[in-house]
């Protein structure tokens, strides 16, 4: 068997070396060495021998063994093609890194953590941004804001966060809204 044949790699798998994960573009989710085999079996119906061949590929050398070893992308990262992006919410308080793609959760966060009262303090001044997460499982989701691929080359300093986007007359530019 020729070396290139032995190291053939499915086209739907893409290693993201900066974050130490492997992305399945078919399912829009990332995996570590610990959970890749299960995904290949359950979602792609790949037989054991083929899974072992994929898992022993030199392309996986930089992939983390477990989620604890994954490098979380920073806010402002360029959009990762193959992962879904959704409009989400970031707490505007400087020392708070709360993020959510759920409007009810950001309101609850402001009420419970920051004791924000709309009647006294006005509209909750969260920021909006497009977000992604490496993992689909709720317990491992950590959203990070991204610069959408179609905006990367438009400006040297791309705007990916829209301040107080929920306040009246302060919405994201029309080109970025859904």
Q: Give the DSSP letter string of 72-116.
A: PPPTTEEP-TTS--EEEEE--STT---EES-HHHHHHHHHHHS--
For residue 114, pLDDT beyond 80: yes
User: What is the per-residue pLDDT for 152?
Assistant: 53
- Per-residue pLDDT tens digits for 50-107: 999 999 999 999 999 999 999 999 999 999 999 999 999 999 999 999 999 999 999 9
Query: How many other β-carbons are positioned within 10 Å of the β-carbon of residue 53?
Result: 15
- Per-residue pLDDT tens digits for 22-46: 999 999 999 999 999 999 999 999 9
Alpha-helix runs per DSSP H in 23-176: 33-44, 48-55, 103-113, 118-121
User: What is the per-residue pLDDT for 170?
Assistant: 42
Domain boundaries, the chain: 3-69, 77-176
C-alpha 37/C-alpha 144 separation (Å) is 26
- Per-residue pLDDT tens digits for 127-162: 999 999 999 999 999 999 999 987 655 544 445 555
Q: Which pTM value belongs to this model? A: 0.79
């Amino acid at each position: 068997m020729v070396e290139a044949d032995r190291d053939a790699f499915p086209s739907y798998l893409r290693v993201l070396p900066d974050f130490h994960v492997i992305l399945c573009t078919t399912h829009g989710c990332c995996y570590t060495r610990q959970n890749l085999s299960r995904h290949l079996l359950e979602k792609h119906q790949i037989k054991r021998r083929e899974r072992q061949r994929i898992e022993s590929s030199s392309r996986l050398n930089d992939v983390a063994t477990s989620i604890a070893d994954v490098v979380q992308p920073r806010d402002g990262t360029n959009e990762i093609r193959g992962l879904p992006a959704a409009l989400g919410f970031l707490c505007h308080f400087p020392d708070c890194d709360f993020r959510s793609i759920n409007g009810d959760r950001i309101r609850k966060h402001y009420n419970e953590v920051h004791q924000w009262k709309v009647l006294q303090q006005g509209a909750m001044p969260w920021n909006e941004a497009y977000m992604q997460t490496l993992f689909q499982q709720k317990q491992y989701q950590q959203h990070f804001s991204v610069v959408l691929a179609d905006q990367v080359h438009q400006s040297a300093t791309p705007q990916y966060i829209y301040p107080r986007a929920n306040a009246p007359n302060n919405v994201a530019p029309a080109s970025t809204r859904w």
